Structure 1
């Protein structure tokens, strides 16, 4: 399944109310490292389909939720389970590291 775009308006439904864990990638168009990890996140979304939803939130278009969560640097990935943030990863990393971190957090 491809990554899913979420907005301030859809965050409650798409992330907090999701029965499946959701990894939210907070990013911006001007962020080079964000663009570097985007293809890896797309591949991970396919490989872990059914175990986790990978969502992307553009912090420039959607300032409300990142402000509430306290996003100060990007790329920032936050894993939500049962509507709660349970793990965070800041910065770009190779696909193998991102997938390994996510799988360890998913259990």
Structure 2
């Protein structure tokens, strides 16, 4: 499944079903650039068991604000539309895979 770029308008439908890892990020953020290839790898390996959505906090302030995003990157794991876990800052691939598998 390809990584989806979400927006304030599409966010609720993007997270509605199954496990969804949302990457709250911005183009100017160094750690966000570091985590992008890690998310690409995870996306390639987890196939249909996980959906990854990237949400640019500068362009989608309403959604970022509603989830209290203060630092980026922040990754929030949703299960059937509800937030179940959250990590802030760069995370190695293994840590993110563990985070997802804990809620699978």
TM-score by length of structure 2 reads 0.93
The match for 1:53 is 51
Match of 1:99 in 2: 97
Q: What secondary structure sits across from 1:25 in the alignment? A: strand
Unmatched segments (≥5 aa) in structure 2: none
Separation of aligned partners in 2, 1:42 and 1:55: 11
Aligned to 1:14: 14
CA offsets 1:48-73 (integer angstroms, 9 cap, x no match): 11111011000001111001111001
**Structure 1: 5+ residue runs without aligned partners?**
none
Match for residue 34 of structure 1 among 32, 35, 54? 32
Residue of structure 2 in register with 1:3 after alignment: 3
Provide the aligned length of Structure 1 versus Structure 2: 104
1:44 and 2:30 are equivalent in the alignment? no
Q: CA RMSD in A?
A: 1.1
Q: TM-score, normalised by structure 1?
A: 0.91
C-alpha displacement at 1:12, in angstroms?
A: 1.4
Distance apart, 1:86 and its partner CA: 0.6
TM-fit CA distance, 1:104? 2.0
Q: Distance in 1 between matches of 2:18 and 2:45?
A: 15
Aligned counterparts of 2:44 and 2:58: Cα–Cα separation in 1? 26
Moved over 4 A (4+): none
